[in-house]
Structure 1
Amino acid sequence: MRWIAPKLVAAANERVQGANVRTVRVLAPAPVKAGPDTAAAAPAPQTTVPAVPGERRTPPEGYRRAIEAHRQAARPSPADPAIAQAVERQTPAMRELSRRTFPDPAVVSGDVTAPIEQARLEHRCQAAATEAAALRRARAERAARKRQGADGVVGRAARASQLGRTA
């Protein structure tokens, strides 16, 4: 069913006007416990009505043995007491290091900018200076190209030097 889901979506959208079917979710069949009434009766014909989920069957012996072997071979849980003690020892040290690295800001009066505002202002100034320098360089390179083009001296060496400067 999952393989033909795209075809089902296309068919549903094609046959029903205004349908916006995008996906089809296929659920696994639910196991049904066979009782004495159903075991003796002849198999019922398949209907289009979905079956009501029944009780779970007990898994086969081989399956249970495989699961038990997997559980025994699985790694132990990470809740090792030695690890928990190490975490308890390291947590205060890491908090102290963090406190020293990022100290609490002192109380800032109303007329003094906060440290975050100072950092933003410095960042804006650096960005403006970088943009101005890039514009100056671009204008200078454009003027140099115009001068060389007017002289008719633009050759391979001149182009290579221009590429070397801009890259």
Structure 2
Amino acid sequence: MMTERGMVAPAVGGTVLANFDAILAAAVPGLSGRVKAVAFDADTGRLDVVPDVPACGTQLRWSTPKLIAAANAAVSGANVRALHVLAPAPVKGGPAPAPSAPAPQSAAPAVRVERRTPPDGYRRAIEAHRQAAPPSRVDPGIAAAVERQTAAMRELARRAFPEPPTVPDDAPAPIDQARVQRRRQAAATEAAALRRARAERSGAAVAVASRTRQVAGEVA
């Protein structure tokens, strides 16, 4: 996109490394001269630094957000996103050494270059890519087989787990029906027991009366 628009991206790696002492002094003044920057990856935004003692490394980790903000504020377009604290090593005076990979580049501002007109073939290819619809990669036969299998599974599920019969809104629930049935059975049993008790009492009364008449006849 930048090439098509005729822009050249500036190299910020060297600028971040060259200005690290000032960035460190602004963010964490207590660590000035005790930390050096050894590498900066502009693609990932990772800045590698080396403290002189472990205690400085711990303080650096606590101050990472402040140091990243100071680096992005000091170097336009730096886009520092992460700080990688390496193993402690003695820090020598002087400017930070150039990293082995990627190689540092001198800071250069964005410059305007002459924009070249894209060739006709390039424009036609872009337009064809925009208008082309992505081809379907699903085999129609496989899709039909999947549909048939899905329908068969649904039918098996319906047979294995049939839906319960629909109960009208005004009909009593099954548990209520069972309670009513039990109550009716209990009432019928109680009525039968009462009839039997009455019959037994009547029979006993008749037997007593008959015995009384028999005894009275014998006395007479």
What is the TM-score with the length of structure 1 in the denominator? 0.28
Rg (Cα) greater in structure: 2
Higher strand content, 1 or 2: 2
What is the TM-score with the length of structure 2 in the denominator? 0.21
Q: Which has the higher contact order (CA 8 A, sep 6+)?
A: 2
